[in-house]
Amino acid sequence: MTGIMDDGSAGTPDGASGADPAGCTKREQILKGAGTVFLANGYEGASMSQIAQMAGVSKGTLYNHFDGKASLFSAFFEEQARSRLAPIEALWRDDGQSVRLTLIRFAEMAVHMLISPMALGLYRIIVGEVEKFPNLADTFWRYGFDRKLSNLTEYLTRVVARGELDIADPRLSAEQFMLMCQARIVQRRRFGLPVDDSDAAIAEFAAFTADSFLKIYEPRHQ
């Protein structure tokens, strides 16, 4: 869950000849620059002037795409969520593997995603500044947590319909599983505490988490 801004690049200057080396559109160039500034300075500390400079565009060009910092942050967060959640969303659409394997893979992917520098940085911004800027919570919930929650709920609903699990409230149970995935490794990384976050440790944790969830909701045969 490394971040795409790890190279710290700022894009090409606005109006410069030639295309961006990565073939980015102007909007993508702005979002990349905005991500660098937000992660470095936080939401409150970021300014549109800083973002324009980092993105290599004029402020006029910046405001042609986004009417303010709130809409820019929302667009940046939405793009991050869209690209990073795509593999997980594909996982829920695959009914060709066992429920256990699907839940294990989800837990592994979720942990890797949530301990990435990008995800940790965004989490700290939202938690640290949400009281001053309530729109951050709405952005996080709409494009991040709720998106994952809805997809997992749909998957569990199908599993229940097939009789593989006994769940009365799939949405509540989906939220429960998502929170279980944040125990130990993710929580300690968020607080900068030492923890084994190797691939082997994450795989072991994912299997334990999936098995614990399955024991709770295994069908009760009469």
pTM (two decimals):
0.80
Model confidence at 221: pLDDT above 90: no
Please report the pLDDT score of residue 10 as a whole number: 37
Q: What's the average model confidence in pLDDT over 55-73?
A: 92
Whole-angstrom distance, CA of residue 219 vs CA of residue 165: 5
Model confidence at 222: pLDDT above 50: no
Alpha helices per DSSP H over the chain: 26-45, 48-55, 59-65, 69-92, 99-114, 117-129, 135-140, 146-161, 170-180, 185-190, 199-217
Whole-angstrom distance, CA of residue 44 vs CA of residue 150: 30
Whole-angstrom distance, CA of residue 205 vs CA of residue 108: 8
Please report the pLDDT score of residue 8 as a whole number: 35
pLDDT in tens, 81-133: 888 888 888 888 877 899 999 999 999 999 999 999 999 998 999 888 888 88
Q: Which residue has the higher pLDDT, 12 or 139?
A: 139
Structure tokens at 135: 């729109």
% residues pLDDT > 70 (the chain): 88
Residue tagged 């324009």 (tokens): 52
Model confidence at 31: pLDDT above 80: yes
